[in-house]
């Protein structure tokens, strides 16, 4: 197999890697905000349960969670394992990353000065308006570096999908490496991941620069 053919074939797998990446962000970012609100709930039962769930998700390997979501329904309920492995992969990734994003959101929200809420109340803002127009933009600015770090980690974590035989880029590279008895596919995969992360880092850097007026 020529290098060009190898790159082309792994490029097809890169499309599936991108699918995991973008779908995970699409679901985990808003889910993380919801979980953060539950974690900060004044209801101690809800807050405690949410805190426990976050601890479990952050304290166990993503690979284990991926296997549980993919094969758990079969072993527990006898349900058929999904033929489209992208579905359980995205579910597992989204739930896992939502737990991390929730703690990042919570840290950002709780770091805001109570005086800003009081000032907004005096100006006639409702709680919803205060959060959306005043608090959230500042929180987003503060947590952006942490969010960027998690997003970069997500790019690399997509390779874990190989554990459930999802044909993303790393899985294809591994198959080619085994069949060709060559380390070159892993080098190509490394270049792909590095380039992907460089693009992500550039985009997030531009977003952070645009938010420089929040200081």
Q: What is the pLDDT of residues 181-212, one digit of tens each?
A: 888 888 888 888 999 999 998 998 888 888 77
Rounded to whole angstroms, what are the CA distances from 201 to 1, 33, 75, 133, 153? 33, 22, 40, 27, 11
Flag whether 194 is in a domain: yes
Global pTM reads: 0.89
Phi, psi torsion values for 112, nearest 5 degrees:
-75, 145
Q: Model confidence over 79-117: pLDDT tens digits?
A: 777 778 899 999 999 999 999 999 999 999 888 888 877
* Domain of residue 153, CATH code: 1.10.3720.10
Q: What is the mean pLDDT of residues 138-159?
A: 91
Please check the confidence at residue 214 and state whether its pLDDT lies above 60. Answer: no
215 part of a folded domain: no
143 in any annotated domain:
yes
- Assess contact for 101 and 39: CB atoms under 8 A: no
Residue 109 lies in a domain: yes
| C-alpha to C-alpha distance for 79 and 117, rounded to whole angstroms | 49
Residue 202 falls inside a structural domain: yes
Asked whether residue 99 is domain-assigned, the answer is yes
The domain in which residue 83 lies consists of 3-210
Asked whether residue 203 is domain-assigned, the answer is yes
State percent of the chain over pLDDT 90.
47
Give the count of domains, the chain: 1
The CA distance from 146 to 188, in Å, is: 28
């Amino acid at each position: 197999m020529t290098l060009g053919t190898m790159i082309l074939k792994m490029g097809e797998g890169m499309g599936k890697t991108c699918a995991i990446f973008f779908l995970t962000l699409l679901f985990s970012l808003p889910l993380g905000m919801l979980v953060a609100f539950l974690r900060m709930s004044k209801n101690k039962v809800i807050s405690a349960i949410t805190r426990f769930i976050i601890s479990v998700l952050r304290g166990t390997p993503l690979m284990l969670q991926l296997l549980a979501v993919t094969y758990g329904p079969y072993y527990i309920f006898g349900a058929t394992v999904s033929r489209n492995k992208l579905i359980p992969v995205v579910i597992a990734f989204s739930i896992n990353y939502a737990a991390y994003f929730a703690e990042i959101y919570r840290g950002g929200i709780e770091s805001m000065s109570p005086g800003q809420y009081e000032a907004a109340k005096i100006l006639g803002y409702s709680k919803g308006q205060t959060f959306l127009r005043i608090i959230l933009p500042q929180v987003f600015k503060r947590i952006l570096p942490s969010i960027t770090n998690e997003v970069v980690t997500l790019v690399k974590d997509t390779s874990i999908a190989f554990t459930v035989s999802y044909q993303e880029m790393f899985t294809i590279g591994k198959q080619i490496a085994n069949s060709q008895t060559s380390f070159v596919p892993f080098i190509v995969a490394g270049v792909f991941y590095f380039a992907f992360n460089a693009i992500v880092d550039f985009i997030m850097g531009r977003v952070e620069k645009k938010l420089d007026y929040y200081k």
